Amino acid sequence: MFKEKPHPEEERKVRANDREYNEKFQYANNCIMTSKYNIITFLPVNLFEQFQEVANTYFLFLLILQLIPQISSLSWFTTIVPLVLVLSITAVKDATDDYFRHKSDNQVNNRQSQVLINGMLQKEKWMNVRVGDIIKLENNQFVAADLLLLSSSEPHGLCYIETAELDGETNMKVRQSLSVTSELGDPNNLAQFDGEVICEPPNNKLDRFCGTLYWRESKYGLSNQNMLLRGCVLRNTESCYGLVIFAGPDTKLMQNSGRTKFKRTSIDRLMNTLVLWIFGFLVCMGVILAIGNAVWEKEVGSLFQSYLPWDPPVDNFLFSAFLAFWSYVIILNTVVPISLYVSVEVIRLGHSYFINWDRRMFCQRRNTPAEARTTTLNEELGQVEYIFSDKTGTLTQNIMTFNKCSINGHAYGEVIDTLGAQSKRGQRLDFSFNPLADSDFCFFDQSLLESVKLGETLVHEFFRLLSLCHTVMSEEKSEGELVYKAQSPDEGALVTAARNFGFVFRSRTPSTVTVQELGRPVTYTLLAILDFNNIRKRMSVIVRNPEGKIRLYCKGADTLLFERLHPCNHDLMNVTSDHLNEYAGDGLRTLALAYRDLSEQQWEDWAEQHRSAERATDCREDRLAAVYEEIEQDMMLLGATAIEDKLQEGVPETIAILSLANIKIWVLTGDKQETAVNIGYSCKMLTDDMSEVFVINGHTVQSVREDLRRARERMMESARSRDGGKEEEMEGWVEGCSLANGFSGGGGRGADWQRQQENKQQNPVPPPLPPSTLLDSISGDFALVISGHSLAHALEADMEQEFLDTACACKAVICCRVTPLQKALVVELVKKHKKAVTLAIGDGANDVSMIKSAHIGVGISGQEGIQAVLASDYSFSQFRFLQRLLLVHGRWSYLRMCRFLCYFFYKNFAFTMVHFWFGFFCGFSAQTVYDQYFITLYNIVYTSLPVLAMGIFDQDVPEQRSLEYPKLYEPGQLNLLFNKREFFICIAQGIYTSVVLFFVPYGVLSQAARNDGIPLADYQTFAVTVATSLVIVVSVQISLDTGYWTAINHFFVWGSLGAYFTILFTMHSNILFSIFPNQFCFAGSAQNTLVQPVVWMTIALATVICIVPVLAFRFLKLDLKPQLSDTVRYTQLVRQKKRKPGGRGGRGASGGAGGLGGGAMGRLGRTGSRRSGYAFAHQEGFGELITSGKNMRLSSLALATFASRHSASWIDTLRKKKQAAQPGGGESSPATAPLSTSSSLLGPQDPATEEAANTPLGPACSSAVTPTLARSPGADSTGGWAISLGAVQVRVYRGKCFASLTPYLVLVDTQ
Amino acid sequence: MMASSYNAKEEDGHLSGTPGPGVVGADTSKKPDNTAFKQQRLPAWQPILTAGTVLPAFFAIGVIFIPIGIGLYVTSNNIREFEIDYTGLEASSPCFNCSQSYSWNNTKPCTCSVSFTLDQAFEGNVFMYYGLSNFYQNHRRYVKSRDDRQLNGDTSALKDPSKECEPYRKNVKPIAPCGAIANSLFNDTLALYISSNGTQIEIPLSKKGIAWWTDKHVKFRNPGGNNSNLAPVFKDTTKPVNWAKPVYELDTDPENNGFINEDFIVWMRTAALPTFRKLYRIIQKKGMTPTLPRGNYTLLITYNYPVHSFEGRKRMILSTISWMGGKNPFLGIAYITVGSVCFFLGVVLFIIHHKYGNRGNSSDIPS
């Protein structure tokens, strides 16, 4: 970090096995250092950093001012005590953080790796690995640095890595060494290797590497395909050798991990602005008082000199005024107390702990609690307006389950009765008859199993197809313990289904597939795989069964498959089609299955064509497609499958609640449009009630703009038809809009105003509205689906405003096929133009950019890699926890922080401004009203803890209420609780209090005498009276502000008062005075003052005068314009009172039910007419890999015996075979090997599907989905919520209800 | 505060699938404890402002404050207080001559006498105050210009007063008592005579008990303990510039001499406001007769203290005392006012609540 590089590296030259040569370049070694300090540098560096904070420097400046005797109006310790306290708290925190960083650095740096030194493999610590070293990696080891793969134990120099740490993808990736180096098998040869790599300088691009290897007078191009990056894990590869190219801080992992952008909350920014204003205010006050001082010194002070001469350097009133200014700056500085920042940090830390401790955000299954990774953003969680969510792994579990199927017109798996409200799911099917069954698989329809057992041919054929037509790999670790490695989870689900129903796919070779059919092993000869791609949307296999019959099995999207069926399937097709519609309506992903018998002749002919197409050099793809097309004709329909892309638990409910809380949810996914839309439906983002779902799918700027415009027009139309009054303006605008492409919108509209407009939507809107506001006022349910390539155009500068306006008018926005960068751009766009708080949630590395650019980033932990979590500010393992994070924790945090700030500014103004008023009576001499110890301790002892307790523990309504009434979230979004207006109110209240606190004692004490005749108007009595009144008034005020009095609050409030009096009497005691007479000159004041009834009457009077107006205002506000939270709170109170006679009856039931809130919706209540739930998260090219045998690590095989039941695993088997087989052979052309896993295919979308998705649904399928609360009138004993949820959800929530023992009663509204 | 997002520990944490040492501990549940504190379910009192609590509070304040106010007002009104300004800036004033010749070290004291009449008798102990106006005893530089160690009898501070005393710290020899406060000690003497049948009878004035007990016994002490002969103790010091006599000659009574002279102590207790009064003497009640009966009185002033220069005023105040102290109409009036306002507010809020309040119906919660 501190090393300065003379000039940035332009290219990197690395020579293998030549440390001397490489040392010339002074490349970084493999030691990483994320820590900032060591023992010696800690103090200076940390102090330096801390004094970079403006606040700290400011207080240092004050401290210096106080050392000048002519200015010093306060003793130096009034500033230094808090300052030292603050600095040391921060320093301790920094030190602990750094200590842990040191520890983790050490741990990583001391990992062992095997380095080839002088031809010998030696153990070295990671930190000692140098650029140019060759290191050996073994299976399951972390890659120590960025390596160029030289050779591997596997054929063709292949090796497999898992890049979860790096990019979050859990699937394995293949890396391959150059063929020249892969031949250098053993260490001896490698030790001789002296190639030189010249490549790009260190950078953070994970998917790109560009370099050249010079060896033996030849040049070899290097790409990312040859690289193993630090952070990856070697898998399924015995060992490999690599040349270190980048080490330590230069590795792509470290380059990527740079410093995270320091996020600040809007409250932070507001606070900083306010603090600046307060400084301004402070200077004004100082100037006023300095002028006063000048006048006073001129008019009075100069005459008074016989009693009080000027201090030596002062020779005229102007200079005196100048000094007075600084003196007053010192005195009045407490309006910006140093403890503000510390207190804010402490409160946030407390809130973070509450998040970490929340059991309802703990995922039992993954054993992961929620984690607040940054402690600085909590209150912003209460202000979120936009959520950007990833799909896979965030909304969905990325687990596919075989849910239903239709075989030969007969639907299986339908176990929900017609009401849709209750489940009749019986037992899970018992697959114990099948020793190879996967125990995790569950299916509930007995009839399907019976059909299999009865031997219905078509049912058998159905499952046979599923067990044959796929590209899944199997691994059998031990007998019967099959593990499938599927490229797409859909396929895995289908093959697993077949497996459980008795058609067990056991193993495959490039040309055979072995299936255990109802206990009987059958080996099919695999003649061809007609691979999947995005255009074909189907895949087929052609197999020859043991009897010699050739059959083509095909599965794919129904729309495409149905066109290729034999005409005699017409009736079956209609039935199946109905079933498919039903499945699609349930949000399931469907595939249609078909087969075709081929004669030997047909096969021969086709095979010939296929071969020639394969050999073709030009348009190979097209030719192949045409050939495939030819054979996939006249097929016989078998049926259809329905796979549930399992949503994470509670996703629809969460989304429903969040949208009730006025949070807009945008899904940004890399998935295909169909999949995304499908999920949109199944998680209820899109519903059939929606007026329209716009799909924007254009490939050109023009068409995208056209689409957007059309969408807006449609929205206008609907608004117009709904609300005739606005017609004309709308029309005018629509025209204007279509003329002008992309208005450069007025970005600075406050959210408040927009909201007002929204509320006003029923009233006539004043004419000169900015167009976007008009759009905002549209209340119809619209949704927007936009694909990545359209988004690219839409995000261009001239169209972004247009896009944003359209998108923001929609209830739901789904962006599919977006790149990580686009995700970030969308977030930035909303951030920039909407001035709204955004939250991004995701789980994979592709979400990192989005998570980093949003105001708040949330990572889903415990699933894919941890990149997202590392970049995130909060992490938990289930999407549904988001509602709790926002609606409960966020809301409370915001509320608490706002209340804290209001009170904090109030109390400091009340405290400080008294000096201002006193200035007019003490000749503007900067005499303080209070004892200096009081000034020192006021902020750190007397008033800090009660407000901290409020800031940490306060609750306005109990947690389940905020889930029940999501509208409670709105004040945060509108920033109602703490804004400039509220700030001024607080300040005004503080100033009012200070006036009362000064002038009431002034009025009383100036004439009063004690009952022994001694006047009370001496300075010390006055000081004690004002200070005591102040402490009491602010304590009463905090009592009013605190809405949730826990024992801790009581302790702190009473304790602070107690501490005040204890310290007061101690400070004023005779003993302390006799030890330090000059320091404790207030000796006896407390005793003498506080025994006087007049003093207490003054205090009581001041308190009442301060509090009564506040009380009256609050009461009026509550009574006339209650906030929702007030009403809820009040209702709660009423209910509690009603409940009391009944005792604890309904308590148990209340707990988790709040979570249902608006989520009571029929999970399966919708019957859709929408088509194409087709989805197939598949990548092209695996068919080729299989048939080429490349990924099977053998090139020429004797396969006949392969299906041996005793093979432990296909890898091992093949490995054994490989020993015998000669290497080479086969068609190994690494350059063309389609191993790339990047899914950049953007095929044109199927128009039919698209249209189907566009068609709005008829009225028939109206809403069982409306997210309203169903409150049961009778209130049975288990909790009075009738929930029309699917069975699963109900069960889950019931369980929760019983489990929780929250002390709040609620729930049953008996009216 | 800046965090590096790379943390090797976390990198390790993900090794779940990797066989290797140290991947135990996964079986220990990380489930947070189910304590009321951690789950934010601490039992709590949740007060709420309702008509049922606020309105009674207002009425209660009214009901409590108004009688107290009346009581205070009546008590205050029963206190006799008499005040007379003897600054003598007007030519007609008997002290005009004295006020014109202002100098600290007049060898010949200037005296003047002011006559006045008390219309009502003063019962009980009567307290005599002197009052000063426009005198900034609360000025920052003035307030700090003292050395409490010195005044507490610390001999080292006697020799070397605190720097705070500048410029009245040393006058060749260290000044005792040092500082601007002590230097400006009020040094008029007042004597009160009652005219009875043409003869002036001096009224005995007690000078004991005019200072705080703590000041007299704790805060102020003469150096050298209870030495009745103070002159040797102060021999290395000099008197404040403006004083006529050194500190050990303030009184003849050793209990009231030196730093523990009560007049001095009273002066050293600085006033909070520029117009203030300080207790000067007490006229003890004697028997059943009024302490100061109706009649004509003469105040004899030894006029030493110049206030003319800064437009100050000097007053003499006679006052009786009640249980709650001296005359103080402000407190009573303030209590009555505040009580009435609260009561009135209570009524207004009650009306508003009944007319417009929409709280009672909880059914309007939008769900």
Q: Is A390 a catalytic residue?
A: yes
Min distance B45 CA to chain A CA atoms (Å): 5
Mutate to test the interface with B, among A485, A1018, A1135 (most CBs of B within 10 A): A1018
Question: What residues of chain A, 26 to 55, have a C-beta less than 8 Å from chain B?
Answer: 32, 34
Residues from chain B contacting residue A368 (CB–CB below 8 Å) = 30
Q: What is residue A1027's predicted lDDT score, i.e. its pLDDT?
A: 95
Local structure of residue A470 (DSSP, 8 states): S
Residues from chain A contacting residue B358 (CB–CB below 8 Å) = 1119-1120, 1122
Q: How far is CA A455 from CA A460, A461, A463, A513, in A?
A: 7, 10, 12, 22
Q: What is residue A487's predicted lDDT score, i.e. its pLDDT?
A: 66
For B86-168, strand residue ranges (E) read 110-118, 126-133
Nearest CA in chain B to A358: B39
Measured over the CA atoms of residue B14, residue B15, residue B21 and residue B26, the dihedral's sign is: positive
Is any Cβ of chain B less than 8 angstroms from the Cβ of A311?
yes
* Residue B297 token pair: 């009185």
Asked if residues A1104 and A1000 have their Cβ atoms less than 8 Å apart, the reply is no
Q: Please give the residue that has the higher pLDDT: either A988 or A616.
A: A988
Measured over the CA atoms of residue A752, residue A756, residue A761 and residue A764, the dihedral's sign is: negative
Q: What is residue A33's predicted lDDT score, i.e. its pLDDT?
A: 79
Residues from chain A contacting residue B44 (CB–CB below 8 Å) = 953, 955, 1044-1046, 1049
Mean per-residue pLDDT, A94-108: 85
**Are residues B214 and A1084, on separate chains, in Cβ contact within 8 Å?**
yes
Q: What is residue A722's predicted lDDT score, i.e. its pLDDT?
A: 63
**Are residues A1084 and B129, on separate chains, in Cβ contact within 8 Å?**
no
Q: Give the nearest partner residue to A1070 out of B12, B148, B218, using CB atoms.
A: B218
Binding annotation of A for Mg(2+): 390, 392, 843, 847
Is any Cβ of chain B less than 8 angstroms from the Cβ of A211?
no
Question: What residues of chain A, 319 to 338, have a C-beta less than 8 Å from chain B?
Answer: 327
Give tens-digit pLDDT for B172-212: 889 988 999 999 999 889 999 998 887 888 999 998 889 99
Q: How confident is the model at residue A729 (pLDDT cuts 50, 70, 90)?
A: very low
Mean pLDDT of chain B: 83
Mean per-residue pLDDT, A194-207: 82
Mean per-residue pLDDT, A553-572: 87
Q: What is residue A1179's predicted lDDT score, i.e. its pLDDT?
A: 52
Q: What is residue A1282's predicted lDDT score, i.e. its pLDDT?
A: 34
Question: What residues of chain A, 952 to 991, have a C-beta less than 8 Å from chain B?
Answer: 953, 955, 959, 964-965, 967
Residue A606 CA from chain centroid, whole number: 52
**Are residues A1019 and B331, on separate chains, in Cβ contact within 8 Å?**
no
Q: What is residue A448's predicted lDDT score, i.e. its pLDDT?
A: 86
Q: How confident is the model at residue A1188 (pLDDT cuts 50, 70, 90)?
A: low
Please tell me whether the peptide bond between B167 and the residue prior to it is cis, using omega within 30 degrees of 0.
yes
Alpha-carbon distance of A742 to B51, in angstroms, equals 55
Coil/strand/helix, residue B184: coil
DSSP A155-172: GGGEEEEE-HHHH---SE
Q: Give the nearest partner residue to A925 out of B141, B271, B367, using CB atoms.
A: B141
**A361 closest CA partner among A645, A649, A646:** A649
Q: What is residue A1135's predicted lDDT score, i.e. its pLDDT?
A: 80
Mean per-residue pLDDT, A314-342: 86
Mutate to test the interface with B, among A71, A74, A297, A307 (most CBs of B within 10 A): A307
Alpha-carbon distance of B103 to B120, in angstroms, equals 38
Q: Which of A390, A558, A776, A1246 does the annotation list as catalytic?
A: A390
Mutate to test the interface with B, among A353, A483, A875, A922 (most CBs of B within 10 A): A922
Q: How far is CA A549 from CA A471, A524, A542, A545, A609, in A?
A: 21, 10, 10, 6, 20
Mean per-residue pLDDT, A1152-1166: 36
Angle between helices A891-919 and A317-332 (to 10 degrees): 150
Q: What is residue A842's predicted lDDT score, i.e. its pLDDT?
A: 87
Give tens-digit pLDDT for A1282-1310: 333 333 333 333 333 333 333 333 333 33
Q: Give the nearest partner residue to B8 out of A105, A303, A1048, using CB atoms.
A: A105
Q: Please give the residue that has the higher pLDDT: either A909 or A1076.
A: A909
Mutate to test the interface with A, among B15, B28, B126, B140 (most CBs of A within 10 A): B140
**A380 closest CA partner among A891, A835, A949, A853:** A891
Q: Which of A114-118, A381-385, A937-941, A1065-1069 has the lowest mean pLDDT?
A: A114-118
**Are residues B140 and A356, on separate chains, in Cβ contact within 8 Å?**
no
- Asked if the model's pLDDT at residue A1277 lies above 60, the reply is no
Q: What are the helix (H) ranges across chain B?
A: 8-13, 51-78, 96-100, 140-143, 148-151, 155-159, 179-183, 213-214, 262-268, 329-356
Alpha-carbon distance of A352 to A377, in angstroms, equals 9
Q: Give the nearest partner residue to A1119 out of B3, B166, B353, using CB atoms.
A: B353
Residue A737 φ then ψ, to 5°: -70, -40
Amino acid letter, residue B305 = Y
- Asked if the model's pLDDT at residue B106 lies above 80, the reply is no
Residues from chain A contacting residue B311 (CB–CB below 8 Å) = 300, 303
Alpha-carbon distance of A968 to A1131, in angstroms, equals 14
Q: What is residue A887's predicted lDDT score, i.e. its pLDDT?
A: 92
For A861-897, strand residue ranges (E) read 874-876
Q: What is residue A1235's predicted lDDT score, i.e. its pLDDT?
A: 34
Mean per-residue pLDDT, A721-731: 51
Residues β-bridged to residue B296: B117, B195
- Show Cβ contacts of residue A86 under 8 Å, excluding neighbours closer than 6 positions: A56, A338, A339, A341, A342
Q: How confident is the model at residue B87 (pLDDT cuts 50, 70, 90)?
A: confident
Burial (0-12, 13-18, 19+ Cβ within 10 Å), B81: middle
Write b or e for each residue in A290-310: b if 16 or more Cβ atoms lie within 10 A of its Cβ, otherwise e.
bebbbebbeebbebbeebbeb
Asked if residues B294 and B96 have their Cβ atoms less than 8 Å apart, the reply is no
Q: How many CB pairs under 8 A join A and B?
A: 379
Give tens-digit pLDDT for A361-372: 888 888 888 988
Give tens-digit pLDDT for A846-901: 788 888 889 999 988 866 556 678 778 898 888 889 999 999 999 999 999 999 99
Q: Please give the residue that has the higher pLDDT: either A400 or A1271.
A: A400
**Are residues B309 and A1046, on separate chains, in Cβ contact within 8 Å?**
no
- Taking residue A504's Cβ as centre, other Cβ atoms within 10 Å add up to 27
Measured over the CA atoms of residue A1290, residue A1293, residue A1295 and residue A1297, the dihedral's sign is: negative
Coil/strand/helix, residue A121: strand
Q: How confident is the model at residue A917 (pLDDT cuts 50, 70, 90)?
A: very high
Mean per-residue pLDDT, A1036-1044: 93
Give tens-digit pLDDT for A588-610: 778 889 999 989 898 999 989 88
DSSP A950-1010: HHHH--SS-HHHHHH-GGGGHHHHTT-SSSHHHHHHHHHHHHHHHHHHHHHHHHHHTT-B-
Is any Cβ of chain B less than 8 angstroms from the Cβ of A251?
no
Alpha-carbon distance of A1065 to A28, in angstroms, equals 64
Q: What is residue A168's predicted lDDT score, i.e. its pLDDT?
A: 53
Min distance B335 CA to chain A CA atoms (Å): 7
Q: How far is CA A494 from CA A466, A503, A640, B290, in A?
A: 6, 11, 11, 114
**Are residues B20 and A140, on separate chains, in Cβ contact within 8 Å?**
yes
Asked if residues A1013 and B12 have their Cβ atoms less than 8 Å apart, the reply is no
Q: What angle do CA A114, A116, A120 make, to 5 degrees?
A: 105
Asked if residues B164 and B182 have their Cβ atoms less than 8 Å apart, the reply is no
Q: What is residue B103's predicted lDDT score, i.e. its pLDDT?
A: 63
Binding annotation of A: 390-392, 491, 532, 555, 589, 669-671, 817, 823, 843, 846-847
Q: Give the nearest partner residue to A165 out of B14, B61, B135, using CB atoms.
A: B14
Mean per-residue pLDDT, A135-143: 86
pLDDT-above-90 percentage for chain A: 18
- Asked if the model's pLDDT at residue A1273 lies above 70, the reply is no
Alpha-carbon distance of A496 to A437, in angstroms, equals 8
Min distance A11 CA to chain B CA atoms (Å): 26
Nearest CA in chain A to B280: A1014
Asked if residues A330 and A72 have their Cβ atoms less than 8 Å apart, the reply is yes
**Are residues A354 and B40, on separate chains, in Cβ contact within 8 Å?**
yes
Asked if residues B109 and B304 have their Cβ atoms less than 8 Å apart, the reply is yes
Q: How far apart are the first and last CA of chain A?
A: 67
Nearest CA in chain A to B53: A1115
**Are residues A1077 and B68, on separate chains, in Cβ contact within 8 Å?**
no
- Show Cβ contacts of residue A826 under 8 Å, excluding neighbours closer than 6 positions: A388, A666, A668, A791, A795, A815, A818, A850
Q: What is residue A1139's predicted lDDT score, i.e. its pLDDT?
A: 67
Mean per-residue pLDDT, B134-162: 89
Alpha-carbon distance of A382 to A806, in angstroms, equals 26
DSSP A595-652: EEEE-HHHHHHHHHHHHHHHH-SSSHHHHHHHHHHHHS-SBEEEEEEEEEEEEPTTHH
**Are residues B50 and A359, on separate chains, in Cβ contact within 8 Å?**
no
Q: How confident is the model at residue A1108 (pLDDT cuts 50, 70, 90)?
A: very high
Residues from chain B contacting residue A172 (CB–CB below 8 Å) = none
Local structure of residue B91 (DSSP, 8 states): T
Q: Indicate the helix (H) or strand (E) that contains A583.
A: helix A570-585
Nearest CA in chain A to B341: A1108
Alpha-carbon distance of A289 to A928, in angstroms, equals 13
Residues from chain A contacting residue B139 (CB–CB below 8 Å) = 304, 308, 922-923, 925, 927
- Asked if the model's pLDDT at residue A769 lies above 70, the reply is no
Q: How confident is the model at residue A1244 (pLDDT cuts 50, 70, 90)?
A: very low
- Asked if the model's pLDDT at residue A743 lies above 50, the reply is no
pLDDT-above-70 percentage for chain A: 79
Alpha-carbon distance of A909 to A996, in angstroms, equals 12
B100 CB-side CA count, 13 A = 8
Residues from chain A contacting residue B127 (CB–CB below 8 Å) = 1009, 1013
**Are residues A1045 and B135, on separate chains, in Cβ contact within 8 Å?**
no
Q: Most confidently modeled of A414-423, A445-454, A1111-1120?
A: A1111-1120
Asked if residues A1114 and A1040 have their Cβ atoms less than 8 Å apart, the reply is yes
Give tens-digit pLDDT for A568-579: 888 888 888 888
Q: Please give the residue that has the higher pLDDT: either A442 or B36.
A: B36
Q: Indicate the helix (H) or strand (E) that contains A839.
A: strand A837-842
Read off the pTM: 0.78
Q: Give the nearest partner residue to B8 out of A108, A921, A1008, using CB atoms.
A: A108
Residues from chain A contacting residue B67 (CB–CB below 8 Å) = none
Coil/strand/helix, residue A1226: coil
Q: Which of A26-30, A516-520, A760-764 has the lowest mean pLDDT?
A: A760-764
ipTM of the complex: 0.91
Alpha-carbon distance of A267 to A378, in angstroms, equals 10
Residues from chain B contacting residue A1008 (CB–CB below 8 Å) = 325-326, 328, 331
Q: Give the nearest partner residue to B212 out of A311, A1074, A1088, using CB atoms.
A: A1088
Q: Please give the residue that has the higher pLDDT: either A486 or B252.
A: B252
Q: Please give the residue that has the higher pLDDT: either B105 or B45.
A: B45
Q: Please give the residue that has the higher pLDDT: either B55 or A168.
A: B55
Residue B117 CA from chain centroid, whole number: 31
Mean per-residue pLDDT, A517-524: 87
